[in-house]
C-alpha cells in the first residue's frame, strides 16, 4: 500500500523532532521556521505484538511488520494560502498525502520560541484550519464555476457536482473543514477527484513536555475537547523524550520506559492510530522463512488481500485457508488447528478481518 500520512503544523511546534524520532532519520532540523522545505519521507514500522505471539508457536527466519509512509511537511504560517512562507508549495505537498497528523504545541516556554509569541493550541489549530480552508476555497470556487456552466447546458453529472461543491463552499466560507460534512458515497466520489485538503482525515498530535507525558494537562485537554467535537482523536507525544528514546539500544530503551512507568514509546501508539486513520488493517502470513504483516484496506476481499503479495495470487485465486491468533494459542500448531476443524476455507467473497492468519491457494 502506498498510502501516506503527512505531518503538518506551525513552525517550531516539534514536527521534525517527532518525524525524526518516528523514522530515526538522523539530525534534527535547526530551530527556525522552514527548517523543512522539501518534504522528507520516511517509512515507519507499525508496532504489532501479534507478530511476536505468532513466533512463539511458529519458528521463522525473520519477522516483517507492516509499514507506513510518513511525510514531514514544512511549517505552515499565517498567510500560507496566499503564498506566505512558500505556502503554495507546502500546500501542494499536503494535497498529495492521504491523511494528516496535525502536531500542536502543548508545552510552555523554553528555548524554542513560538512563532506567534505565545502558546495557545486552539489558536494554532484554527490558524492551520483557516489556511487550509482558504486554499480549498480557491479550488472549490474554480471547479464550481465550471460545473455550474456545464449544468446549465443540461449535464446531469455536472449538476450533481455543482450541488456538492456549493455545500463545500458554504462550509469553507465558515473556515470549517469539508471532512465534517455528511456526504454519501456518490458525493465522496465526486470530491475525491478534487484532492481537497480539509476533506482528509486528521489525527491531532499533542506535543507535550516531560512533566505531562501522559497528556493530562489543561493544554492537551483543550485539544481533546476540540477533537471530540470533530469526532477525531488526540495522541499525546513528548517529542523530546521520544527523540532520546529513538537513539537508545533496545535494552536501554526498555529500562528508560520502565523508569517513567511507560509500557511503550508514545510513537508506537501514534503509528497504530495513523494506520487506522488511513483505514488500514493487517493480516498475517506465517512460515519457516518469514512471519509477515500485510497491509490491506478495511473491507478488502480475500482475492484483493492475495494481490497485495503478488498480482498472480489475485488473478489465480482459488481460496484462502484462514485461522485466528486465538486458534493458534489454543491448539499450538497449524496441523492441530486443522485437526480441530478450525482452519476455515474462504472464497472470493470473504471480507478479510484484522489479524487473520492466512495461506492463499492460487493457480495461474
Given a cut of 60, is residue 113 above it in pLDDT? no
Selected residue with higher pLDDT from 76 and 56: 56
Mean pLDDT estimate for the chain: 87
* Global pTM value: 0.82
| pLDDT digits 0-9 by tens, 246-285 | 888 889 989 999 998 888 889 889 999 999 999 999 999 9
**Domain extent at residue 176:** 4-277
Best CA proximity match to 124, nearest among 139, 141, 109, 106: 106
Residue 76 gets the label, from left (phi > 0), alpha (psi -120 to 50) or beta, of beta
Q: Which of 185-199, 214-228, 305-319 has the lowest mean pLDDT?
A: 185-199
What distance in Å separates the CA atoms of residue 162 and residue 144, rounded to the nearest whole number?
6
- Please return the burial class of 355, using the count of CB atoms within 10 Å of its CB with bins 0-12, 13-18 and 19+: middle
For residue 25, the model assigns a pLDDT of: 36
Same domain? For 228 and 91 the reply is yes
Residue 221 CA: distances (Å) to CA of 13, 14, 122, 229? 17, 19, 11, 12
Q: Is residue 331 part of a domain?
A: yes
What distance in Å separates the CA atoms of residue 85 and residue 74, rounded to the nearest whole number?
9
User: What percentage of the chain's residues is helix, strand, coil (to nearest 5)?
Assistant: 45, 20, 35
- End position of a domain, from candidates 225, 242, 277: 277
Same domain? For 169 and 309 the reply is no
For residue 186, the model assigns a pLDDT of: 87
What distance in Å separates the CA atoms of residue 100 and residue 200, rounded to the nearest whole number?
7
| pLDDT digits 0-9 by tens, 68-111 | 888 888 766 666 555 554 445 567 778 888 999 999 999 876 65
Selected residue with higher pLDDT from 359 and 23: 359
Given a cut of 60, is residue 29 above it in pLDDT? no
Sign (positive/negative) of CA torsion 89, 92, 98, 101? positive
Sign (positive/negative) of CA torsion 310, 314, 318, 324? positive
Best CA proximity match to 43, nearest among 63, 24, 62, 27: 24
What distance in Å separates the CA atoms of residue 249 and residue 252, rounded to the nearest whole number?
5
For residue 174, what is its C-alpha cell? 465558515
Coil, helix or strand for 354? coil
Same domain? For 257 and 165 the reply is yes
Q: Is residue 130 part of a domain?
A: yes
Helix (H) or strand (E) holding 314: helix 311-315
Residue that is written with C-alpha cell 517513567 in the block: 260
Residue 165 CA: distances (Å) to CA of 133, 137, 148, 212? 13, 10, 10, 42
| CATH number (domain holding residue 332) | 3.10.20.30
Angle at 48 between CA 260 and CA 68, to 5 degrees: 100
Q: Is residue 342 part of a domain?
A: yes
What distance in Å separates the CA atoms of residue 289 and residue 330, rounded to the nearest whole number?
23
Residue that is written with C-alpha cell 512558500 in the block: 86
Contacts of 276 (CB under 8 A, 6+ apart): none
For residue 119, what is its C-alpha cell? 502558546
For residue 96, the model assigns a pLDDT of: 85
What distance in Å separates the CA atoms of residue 17 and residue 14, rounded to the nearest whole number?
5
Given a cut of 80, is residue 290 above it in pLDDT? yes
Q: Is residue 330 part of a domain?
A: yes
- End position of a domain, from candidates 225, 245, 277: 277
What's the rounded mean pLDDT across residues 54-69?
A: 94
Q: Is residue 183 part of a domain?
A: yes
Q: Is residue 256 part of a domain?
A: yes
**Domain count across the chain:** 2
Amino acid at each position: 500500500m502506498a498510502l501516506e500520512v503527512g505531518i503538518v503544523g506551525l513552525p517550531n511546534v516539534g514536527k521534525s523532532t517527532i518525524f525524526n524520532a518516528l523514522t530515526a532519520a538522523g539530525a534534527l532540523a535547526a530551530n527556525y521556521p522552514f527548517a523543512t522545505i522539501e518534504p522528507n519521507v520516511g517509512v515507519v514500522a507499525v508496532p504489532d505484538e501479534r507478530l511476536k505471539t505468532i513466533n512463539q508457536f511458529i519458528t521463522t527466519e525473520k519477522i516483517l511488520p507492516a509499514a507506513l509512509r510518513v511525510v514531514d511537511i514544512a511549517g505552515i504560517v499565517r498567510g500560507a494560502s496566499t503564498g506566505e512562507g512558500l505556502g503554495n508549495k507546502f500546500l501542494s505537498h499536503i494535497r498529495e498525502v492521504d491523511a494528516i497528523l496535525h502536531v500542536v504545541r502543548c508545552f510552555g516556554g523554553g528555548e524554542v520560541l513560538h512563532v506567534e509569541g505565545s502558546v495557545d493550541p486552539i489558536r494554532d489549530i484554527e490558524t492551520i484550519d483557516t489556511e487550509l480552508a482558504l486554499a480549498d476555497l480557491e479550488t472549490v470556487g474554480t471547479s464550481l464555476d465550471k460545473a455550474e456552466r456545464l449544468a446549465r447546458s443540461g449535464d446531469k453529472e455536472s449538476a450533481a457536482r455543482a450541488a456538492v461543491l456549493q455545500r463545500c463552499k458554504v462550509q469553507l466560507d465558515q473556515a470549517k473543514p469539508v471532512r465534517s460534512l455528511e456526504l454519501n458515497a456518490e458525493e465522496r466520489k465526486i470530491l475525491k477527484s478534487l484532492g481537497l485538503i480539509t476533506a482528509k482525515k486528521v489525527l491531532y498530535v499533542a506535543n507535550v513536555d516531560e512533566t505531562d507525558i501522559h497528556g493530562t494537562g489543561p493544554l492537551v485537554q483543550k485539544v481533546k475537547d476540540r477533537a471530540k467535537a470533530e469526532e477525531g482523536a488526540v495522541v499525546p507525544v513528548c517529542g523530546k523524550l521520544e527523540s532520546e528514546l529513538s537513539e537508545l539500544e533496545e535494552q536501554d530503551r526498555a529500562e528508560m520506559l520502565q523508569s517513567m512507568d511507560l509500557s511503550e514509546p508514545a510513537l508506537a501508539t501514534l503509528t497504530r492510530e495513523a494506520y487506522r486513520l488511513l483505514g488500514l488493517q493487517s493480516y498475517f502470513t506465517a512460515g519457516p522463512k518469514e512471519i509477515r504483516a500485510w497491509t490491506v484496506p478495511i473491507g478488502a476481499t480475500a482475492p484483493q488481500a492475495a494481490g497485495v503479495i503478488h498480482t498472480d495470487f489475485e488473478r489465480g485465486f482459488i481460496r484462502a485457508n484462514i485461522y485466528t491468533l486465538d486458534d493458534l494459542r489454543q491448539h499450538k500448531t497449524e496441523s492441530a488447528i486443522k485437526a480441530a476443524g478450525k482452519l476455515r476455507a474462504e472464497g472470493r467473497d470473504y471480507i478479510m478481518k484484522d489479524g487473520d492468519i492466512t495461506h492463499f491457494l492460487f493457480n495461474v
